[in-house]
């Protein structure tokens, strides 16, 4: 049985399209007459639940199945994945409504993604697949040398995981593939959380060379895939400003900005995080990088630690705050912006005169202007003024789909304070 037929048979069988349908047994889903088909034709990859005709046939399509999407005049727009349990009810997979999504199809997408990353990076440590921007909606793949971590965050990817992994191994040659099935996105798709080693194995944290430092990634039990590659260019820019500096890295995760700064010549770095396991990995990375004598950690809540450092009279030449997403979705936007403003307010007083403050956001719901305004307000409320020197984004191994603002989520603001 082919992967496609196995999906179609997983759950109640949808009614077949009308006789003569050129796409065989695939179900057909249709946009409502007033839905905007132009956006889909111009590259927008999602259809929301209120834009699709939800008749009995469509309601019976099993999560993750493939279907032909038609506009209101019954003209085919392409091949989509369907999950009627999700707010994103359909995701565009292929402009060819007759495309066969098998191992060869995955291999073509993965080969294109690999060709870009091989041009960008000499060593095989990068984000290999960045979801919709690489033509694999809801799929994230990070590569750690001979190890790949796959996040199938959409129902279709979970259902077609076997041919995806087979193609991944064939195209890249990796021997170990780990499925990281955790995170908010899977819950929105109705998928269970689990982390599984699908093939091969790892004995412990994986050493990752980046920006002259060595990071230790826990690929089986760490946050997300174990390491955040997206900040790589921002780590490098911050390191240029950190020569001879005392650095404070808040929300450091496994060493983040701190290890890059030390590799770039910083005098010292204090790394702050609430997670003891993450700080242990950061310390291991400092030892592997040969900078342990200049590296220290402090465990605790970031807001409380910043308040305590200010009360202790501590000052740093460079302060970086790289928190988790305070505004992961629009309902959390206002609270998230208040949190970003508070972080800036608490961080500004511990920056030495003429020093640098780096503020980051990975919240796609908070656009650049809103985040920049919240940061500026916070700096002002912290009693400081400054210049905005540079705005950084995710590295090129995290390409952005121009039609999908959510794919350009990362913002890093570099200020120099008076």
Tens digit of pLDDT for each residue in 138-169? 999 999 999 999 999 999 999 999 999 999 99
In this prediction, residue 92 carries a pLDDT of 97
- 204 lies in a domain? no
- The residue among 160, 153, 202 whose CA lies nearest residue 182 is 153
Q: What six digits make up the tokens of 61?
A: 């399509």
Domain boundary among 64, 94, 124: 94
| Residue in this structure with the two tokens 């076997």, named with its chain if needed | 162
Q: DSSP for 16-51?
A: PPPTT-TTTT--EEEB-TTS-HHHHHTT--EEEGGG
- Is the CB of residue 177 less than 8 Å from the CB of residue 70? no
In this prediction, residue 24 carries a pLDDT of 62
> Are residues 87 and 228 located together in one domain of the fold?
no
Domain boundary among 39, 74, 94: 94
Task: Quickly count: other Cβ atoms within 10 Å of residue 405's Cβ.
Answer: 12
Domain boundary among 31, 61, 94: 94
Catalytic residue positions?
362
Domain total of the chain: 3
- The residue among 399, 377, 418, 403 whose CA lies nearest residue 131 is 399
- Name the stretches of the chain with pLDDT < 50: 1-20
Helix (H, G, I), strand (E, B) or coil at 338: helix
> Are residues 384 and 257 located together in one domain of the fold?
yes
H/E run at residue 417: strand 411-417
- 256 lies in a domain? yes
Q: What is the Cα–Cα distance from 103 to 163, expressed in whole angstroms?
A: 5
pLDDT tens for 179-234 read 999 988 898 888 999 999 999 999 999 999 999 999 999 999 988 899 999 999 99
Boundaries of domain holding 310? 211-417
> Are residues 159 and 32 located together in one domain of the fold?
no
- 363 lies in a domain? yes
**What secondary structure letter does DSSP report for 131?**
G
Q: Are strands 246-250 and 268-273 parallel, antiparallel or unpaired?
A: parallel
How much is the pTM? 0.91
In this structure, what CATH number is given to the domain that contains residue 286? 3.40.50.150
In this prediction, residue 222 carries a pLDDT of 87
Helix (H, G, I), strand (E, B) or coil at 161: helix
> Are residues 351 and 408 located together in one domain of the fold?
yes
In this prediction, residue 184 carries a pLDDT of 84
What's the start-to-end Cα distance of the chain, in Å? 67
- 34 lies in a domain? yes
- 131 lies in a domain? yes
Q: What is the Cα–Cα distance from 367 to 360, expressed in whole angstroms?
A: 12
| Residue in this structure with the two tokens 């091969």, named with its chain if needed | 200
| Residue in this structure with the two tokens 């608490």, named with its chain if needed | 346
- The residue among 70, 76, 137 whose CA lies nearest residue 101 is 137
Q: What is the Cα–Cα distance from 242 to 197, expressed in whole angstroms?
A: 39
- The residue among 322, 304, 398, 413 whose CA lies nearest residue 367 is 413
């Amino acid at each position: 049985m082919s992967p496609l037929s196995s999906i179609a048979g997983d759950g109640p069988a949808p009614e077949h399209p009308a006789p003569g349908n050129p796409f065989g047994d695939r179900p057909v889903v249709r946009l409502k007459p007033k839905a905007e088909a132009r956006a889909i034709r111009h590259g927008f990859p999602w259809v929301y639940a209120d834009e699709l005709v939800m008749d009995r046939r469509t309601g019976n399509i099993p999560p993750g199945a493939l279907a032909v999407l038609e506009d209101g005049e019954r003209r085919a727009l392409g091949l989509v994945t369907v999950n009627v349990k999700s707010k994103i009810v359909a995701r565009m997979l292929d402009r060819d409504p007759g495309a066969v999504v098998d191992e060869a199809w995955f291999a073509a997408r993965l080969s294109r993604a690999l060709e870009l990353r091989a041009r960008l990076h000499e060593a095989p440590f990068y984000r290999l697949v960045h979801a919709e921007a690489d033509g694999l909606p809801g799929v994230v793949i990070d590569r750690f040398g001979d190890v790949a971590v796959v996040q199938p965050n959409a129902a279709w990817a979970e259902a077609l995981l076997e041919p995806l992994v087979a193609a991944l191994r064939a195209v890249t040659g990796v021997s170990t593939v780990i499925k990281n099935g955790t995170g908010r996105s899977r819950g929105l798709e109705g998928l269970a959380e689990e982390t599984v080693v699908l093939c091969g194995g790892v004995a412990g944290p994986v050493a990752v060379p980046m920006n002259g430092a060595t990071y230790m990634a826990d690929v089986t039990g760490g946050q997300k895939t174990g390491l955040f590659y997206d900040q790589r260019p921002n780590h490098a820019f911050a390191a240029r400003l950190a020569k001879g500096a005392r650095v404070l890295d808040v929300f450091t995760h496994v060493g983040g900005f701190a290890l890059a700064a030390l590799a770039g010549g910083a005098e010292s770095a204090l790394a702050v995080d609430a997670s003891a396991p993450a700080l242990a990995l950061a310390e291991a990375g400092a030892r592997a990088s040969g900078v342990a004598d200049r590296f220290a950690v402090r465990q605790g809540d970031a807001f409380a630690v910043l308040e305590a450092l200010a009360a202790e009279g501590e000052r740093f030449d460079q302060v970086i705050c790289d928190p988790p997403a305070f505004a992961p979705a629009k309902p959390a936007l206002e609270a998230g912006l208040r949190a970003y403003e508070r972080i800036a307010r608490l961080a500004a007083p511990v920056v030495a005169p003429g020093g640098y403050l780096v503020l980051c956001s990975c919240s796609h719901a908070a656009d650049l202007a809103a985040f920049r305004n919240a940061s500026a307000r916070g700096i002002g409320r912290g009693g400081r003024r400054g210049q905005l020197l540079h705005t950084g984004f995710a590295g090129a191994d995290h390409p952005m789909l121009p039609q999908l603002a959510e794919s350009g989520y990362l913002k890093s603001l570099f200020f120099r304070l008076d």
